Copies of this chain bind each other. A is one copy, B any other.
C-alpha cells in the first residue's frame, strides 16, 4: 500500500542503519502498544472494529446538514481542527464548489477578533449549522468561539437553534458534555481512550469531512487496511516501523529536523496535522526531531536553497501520490516564443512527478538524507491508509525515543501562564485599573 522507497535514498555513505539492533526493541514496543494494558491506544483498533452504526449516524446528520445549510462552522483547535482540515483540503477542489459537499469553515482555532467578526459578517446570507468539538470543553479558544456562536445561532434561529448545533465531546465527562445534555444538542462521542492528535478517524474528523463531501467509508476502509497490514511486529515487514527506525537512526546521527515535503499544494494542511502528531508526541524531555514542512515545487524557490546547501541538520521525507485525479495538458504553441514546445502535450502532473525525481536527486547530491513515501492515488482510501500509517509510526517513534507518545505536559505551561494573566487582568478591570 504505502511504499517506503529505498533506491537512491539515505545515501548509504551518510548513514548506515543497523536494523538488527532495532528488531527486538521494536517487537517489544509493538507488544506493549497492542497489549491489553496499553493506555490511550483506542485509535489502534478502532478502524478494525465494527463501526457501521457510527458511520451511518454521521452520514445521516451530514446529509441533513448538506440539505439544510450552506455552510458548516466547525469549532475546534489542535487535534479537533487539524485532521478534518487536512482531509478536507486534500480531497476537495482548489477552486469552485465541491459537488458532494458544502462549505466547511473553521473557527475557535485562533483568538483573532478580526477573524471572528469577518466570519460572522460573511454568514449573513447563508444557512448555518455548527459542529463544536472539544473533549473537555475547557480549552479557551473553542470555548470562547462556542459562546459567540451559540448566542449567534439562538438569536438567528430561536427555538430551532438547538437542532443546528452538533456537539462532539466526551460521552460522560467535561463541561461541553454537560452543556450538550442540558440543552439537548445531538452528540457524537470522542472515545475516552483516544487523545486529540490521534482522533481524526473518530467523529472529530469524520463529521466535518463528510459534510465537505469526503467519502468517509473509503477513508475508514483505507485505515482498516493499514491497521491490518501494520499489525506486524516484524520490522522487516512493517513499513510504519521501518519509517520510525529510519527517523530514529537519523536523529541519533545528528539530524535534528525532519522536513515533510509533498508536491501537491492541497496537502499543506496534512503537513500541519503531521507536525502536531509528531511534534506533540515526541517533543519532550528535551528530545525529538523538529517537524517542519514544505510544499514543492513552490518552496524549492524559497527554502530549497537551504535544504540543498545550508546547515546539514535536515533530512527530508518526500511524500508522493503517484496519481492525482485532475490534470491538465501543456498546450502546443505555434509561435513557441517560450521555447517550451518540447513539453507540449505532457501533463502537468507528469512534469510535477519529474520535478519530484529531480528534487530527490539534487538534494541527495547535496548530502541530504531522503526518505520516500509513495502511495498509488490521492483519494479517500489512500489518505485513510496514510493517516493510520503516520499514527502507528509516531507511537513507535516516540517509544524508541523513550518518551510517552500520548501526553503533552508542555501545552499546559502556556495555558497556565495565560490563565494567570487573564485573571489578574480581569481583576484590574473590575476595579477600574483598566488595560
Binding site for B on A (CB under 8 A): 77-79, 81-82, 93-96, 105, 109-122, 137, 139-141, 143-144, 146-148, 151, 175, 178-179, 182, 256-257, 263-266, 272, 275-276, 279-280, 282-292, 295-298, 300-314, 324-331, 333, 337-340, 342-343, 346-352, 354-355, 357-359, 361-363, 365-366, 408-411, 413-423, 425-426, 429, 435
Contact = CB atoms under 8 A, between A and B. Distances in A.
Contacts of A276: 301-303
A206 to B, nearest CB: 20
B113 A146 contact: no
Contact of A350 (B93, B151, B435): B435
Contacts of A265: 110, 112, 115
A363 B283 CA distance: 14
Nearest to A341: B147
Contact of A348 (B112, B287, B329, B417): B112
Contacts of A93: 114, 118
Contact of A301 (B77, B122, B348): B77
Given A290-B313, A309-B284, A413-B366, A78 B302 contact: yes
Given A308-B411, A417-B358, A324 B112 contact: yes
A212 to B, nearest CB: 15
Given A110-B298, A175-B339, A421-B354, A286 B303 contact: no
A366 B175 CA distance: 30
A10 B94 CA distance: 42
A101 to B, nearest CB: 15
Given A139-B301, A337-B179, A361-B417, A306 B290 contact: yes
A279 B305 CA distance: 7
Given A114-B326, A309-B410, 16 more contacts: A95-B121, A96-B118, A113-B328, A117-B326, A140-B355, A144-B330, A275-B303, A280-B303, A284-B305, A287-B311, A288-B310, A288-B311, A351-B422, A355-B414, A358-B419, A358-B420
Contact of A311 (B95, B290, B409): B290
B310 A286 contact: yes
Most buried by B among A300, A305, A343: A305
Residue among A81, A280, A338, A357 with the highest chain B CB neighbour number at 10 A: A338
A172 B385 CA distance: 52
Contacts of A147: 330-331, 333, 338, 340
Contact of A414 (B310, B358, B419): B358
Given A121-B95, A275-B303, A280-B305, A297 B111 contact: yes
A79 B301 CA distance: 8
19 contacts: A93-B118, A94-B119, A95-B119, A95-B122, A96-B121, A141-B301, A144-B343, A276-B301, A283-B311, A284-B310, A285-B309, A286-B311, A290-B306, A290-B310, A291-B306, A300-B414, A351-B422, A358-B414, A358-B417
